């Protein structure tokens, strides 16, 4: 299959590109900087926020391969801090990268997928797209946007032979932790003293989380499965339980549990 993956310089994207190329798929991926290339993987240096650059890359793939079978929208970033102290620039960076980046990729691949009558769009959301995470509010907002967008897209494209799958990782040990932008000014720390404890808990959980190869294997499974589910939660048993509790508990009860977990009181 011809697979287009965004954000393959590290973490999920790198592990997925490596696995899929080893399995014999034709893999194209995007990076924002120079990296040590993987064997048999084709690279585009671009930012998914650039609509024209994404379209040009997809057009090149189609011109060379004649089709595009799978989009894995992985590129993303995170901002941590009190919502009150996020700047307009930070908010736009968060939403433009995580959400509009997906939209740009879908716009680019959909015409070809419609033409060939088949295709899979795999979007990486997060369990933070199912519940608002304290001090990661705009990150959660970007992932909630992905959830709603993909739900609508799935219904619109079902009759066209296109599958839309959302993958929701929990805590993983990747470079995402170190690259997270964090509000660290004294005013924010003074106004929200619980922020320091919460972000320390987040980073502790991420560093002890699953390896990115676990998620890469799940994506391979989705690609090779004829009728994948609409969504998958890839996380520890504890985090899968939290997703279940979010569905079944009254909102106030769940908020207390989540607040206690992140040491907000």
Domain range for 84: 2-261
139, 149, 192, 232: the catalytic one is 139
pLDDT per residue as tens digits for the range 2-11: 999 999 999 9
pLDDT for 177: 63
Q: Is 139 a catalytic residue?
A: yes
pLDDT per residue as tens digits for the range 43-55: 999 999 999 999 9
Q: Which residue, among 240, 254, 78, 256, has the nearest Cα to 169 in the 3D structure?
A: 240
Q: What is the C-alpha separation between 35 and 237, in angstroms, rounded?
A: 34
pLDDT for 246: 96
Q: Which residue, among 209, 202, 210, 206, has the nearest Cα to 263 in the 3D structure?
A: 202
Q: What is the 3-state secondary structure (H, E, C) of the chain?
A: CEEEECCCCCHHHHHHHHHHHHCCCEEEEEECCCCCCCCCEEEEECCCCCHHHHHHHHHHHHHHHCCCCEEEECCCCCEECCHHHCCHHHHHHHHHHHHHHHHHHHHHHHHHHHHHCCEEEEEECCHHHCCCCCCCHHHHHHHHHHHHHHHHHHHHHHHHCEEEEEEEECCECCCHHHHCEECCCHHHHHHCCHHHHHHHHHHHHHHCCECHHHHHHHHHHHHHCCCCCCEEEECCHHHHHHHHHHHHCCHHHHHHHHHHHCCCC
Q: Is 240 a catalytic residue?
A: no
Q: What is the C-alpha separation between 218 and 35, in angstroms, rounded?
A: 25
What's the pTM?
A: 0.94
Q: Is 265 a catalytic residue?
A: no
The CA distances from residue 198 to 30, 34, 176, in Å, are 32, 34, 17
pLDDT per residue as tens digits for the range 153-170: 999 999 999 999 999 999
9, 21, 126, 242: the catalytic one is 9
Residues in Cβ contact with 89 at an 8 Å cutoff, skipping those fewer than 6 apart: none
pLDDT for 203: 82
pLDDT for 76: 93
Number of domains, the chain:
1
Q: What is the C-alpha separation between 251 and 128, in angstroms, rounded?
A: 15
Question: Is the distance from CB of 28 to CB of 2 less than 8 angstroms?
Answer: yes
**Which tokens sit at 221?**
């499974």
Q: Is 118 a catalytic residue?
A: no
pLDDT for 184: 67
pLDDT for 128: 95
125, 126, 140, 142: the catalytic one is 125
120, 140, 142, 143: the catalytic one is 143
pLDDT tens-digit profile, the chain (265 residues):
999 999 999 999 999 999 999 999 999 999 999 999 999 999 999 999 999 999 999 999 999 999 999 999 999 999 989 999 999 999 999 999 999 999 999 999 999 999 999 999 999 999 999 999 999 999 999 999 999 999 999 999 999 999 999 999 999 988 776 677 777 678 888 899 988 888 888 888 888 889 999 999 999 999 999 999 999 999 999 999 999 999 999 999 999 999 998 888 7
CATH number at residue 156: 3.40.50.720
The CA distances from residue 52 to 28, 121, 173, in Å, are 17, 19, 32
pLDDT for 125: 97
């Amino acid at each position: 299959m011809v697979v287009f993956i965004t954000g393959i310089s590290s973490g999920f994207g790198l592990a997925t590109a490596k696995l899929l190329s080893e399995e014999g798929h034709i893999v194209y991926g995007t990076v924002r900087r120079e990296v040590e290339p993987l064997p048999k993987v084709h690279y585009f240096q671009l930012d998914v926020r650039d609509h024209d650059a994404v379209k040009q890359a997809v057009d090149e793939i189609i011109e060379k391969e004649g089709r595009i079978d799978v989009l894995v929208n992985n590129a993303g970033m995170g901002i941590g801090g009190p919502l009150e102290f996020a700047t307009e620039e930070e908010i736009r960076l968060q939403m433009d990268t995580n959400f509009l980046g997906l939209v740009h990729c879908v716009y680019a691949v959909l015409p070809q997928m419609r033409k060939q009558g088949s295709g899979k769009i795999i979007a990486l959301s997060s369990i933070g797209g199912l519940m608002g995470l304290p001090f990661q509010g705009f990150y959660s907002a970007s992932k909630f946007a992905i959830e709603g967008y993909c739900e609508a897209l799935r219904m619109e494209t079902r009759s066209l032979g296109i599958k839309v799958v959302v993958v929701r990782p929990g805590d993983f040990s990747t470079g995402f932790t170190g690259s997270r932008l964090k509000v660290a000014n004294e005013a924010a720390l003074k106004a929200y003293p619980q922020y320091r404890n919460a972000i320390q808990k987040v980073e502790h959980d991420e560093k002890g989380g699953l390896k990115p190869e676990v998620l890469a294997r799940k994506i391979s499974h989705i690609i090779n499965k004829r009728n994948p589910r609409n969504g998958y939660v890839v996380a520890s048993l504890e985090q899968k339980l939290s997703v279940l509790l979010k569905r079944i508990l009254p909102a106030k009860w769940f908020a207390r549990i989540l607040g206690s977990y992140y040491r907000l009181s």
